[in-house]
Amino acid sequence: MRPEHTTPLGSASRPVTRYERGRITQDDDRLAEEIPVALHFNGKPFAVMMASPVDLEDFARGFALTENRVSDVREITAIEIHEGLEGISIDVVTAQAAANDAPVVPERNIPGRSGCGICGTRELEDVIRRPRPVAAGTTVTPDAIERALEALRAEQPINAFTGSVHAAAWARTDGSLMVVREDVGRHNALDKLIGAMTRRGIDPREGFAVITSRASYEMVTKAAVAGITVLVAISAPTALAVALATDCGMTLAGFARPGRFNVYSRPERIRDAGL
């Protein structure tokens, strides 16, 4: 555990004037950092995302996979990260770079906000992507889900310091956590998690993902592209997310709290729950 006074990467302290019950005090507030991250593929610009400046190599790997820039992260030959005054630039080099017939990567025409997964997408067919069916995967128990939720509280240093970022975690089937990633954007946090999983060789069929946000359709799509079979959200899913999860065979749970959660699709993967 980090000491309470330590400022974790991805956060900062800034002066603040507090007004409370007629009193004015000067203090320092704890804030999450949010900076532009420009993603290039083989030297060509694709998108600018507002993100937390931590775990950026994992972010690049996960983003490349879930945005269909590569079909397998093994196609990535290099990730080059450059810091500048305006933000951070990441160039993802793939095996296609050396091919004369490398496809043209469509560029997003506006930056992606931290809370937006589709900002800059120019065509309707680029928005609703129906993922391929996921594998059978494994089953998990309600106790494992509750154990993962409890463990996640202690594995979010930026959120503990600022109270303003999302997290995505990978849990084993017993609920113990293997990887946790944080970001100001919920999509970014999930991309970072997926990137870390691919880098470590974690099998997405042997465990489940937990996210500290709502389960939008984009979160379901990204998880399904990565092969995740069980996705547990602390907040609500959307109707489209439920439809896509059902369609691709993913188990989607929402409103996960100690002792309770709702299962919206494929409940057969939750065992010992009377489902």
User: Is 256 known to sit in a ligand binding site?
Assistant: yes
CATH of the domain at 244: 3.40.140.10
Q: Are strands 251-257 and 230-233 parallel, antiparallel or unpaired?
A: parallel
User: Is 257 known to sit in a ligand binding site?
Assistant: yes
Residue 116 annotated as catalytic: yes
Q: Which domain holds residue 253?
A: 142-265
Query: Among 128-137, 172-181, 266-275, which range has the highest average pLDDT?
Result: 172-181
Q: Residue 20 corresponds to which tokens in the numbers above?
A: 């409370």
Q: Are residues 260 and 155 in the same domain?
A: yes
CA 2 – CA 209 distance, rounded (Å): 24
Angle 45-70-93 from CA coordinates, rounded to 5°: 50
Residue 107 lies in a domain: no
- pLDDT at residue number 100: 47
- Could you tell me the pLDDT band of residue 5, with boundaries at 50, 70 and 90? low
Catalytic pick among 116, 151, 240, 273: 116
pLDDT of residue 124 exceeding 60: no
Q: Are residues 148 and 225 in the same domain?
A: yes
Whole-number average pLDDT of the chain: 89
pLDDT 10s digits, 35-89 = 999 999 999 999 999 999 999 999 999 999 999 999 999 999 999 999 998 899 9
CA 167 – CA 173 distance, rounded (Å): 19
Rounded to the nearest 10°, the torsion over CA 187, 189, 191, 195 is 180
Task: Name 142's Cβ contacts closer than 8 Å, sequence gap at least 6.
Answer: 261, 270, 272, 273
H-run or E-run covering 92? strand 88-94
User: Is 249 known to sit in a ligand binding site?
Assistant: no
Q: Are residues 178 and 245 in the same domain?
A: yes
The pTM of this model reads 0.88
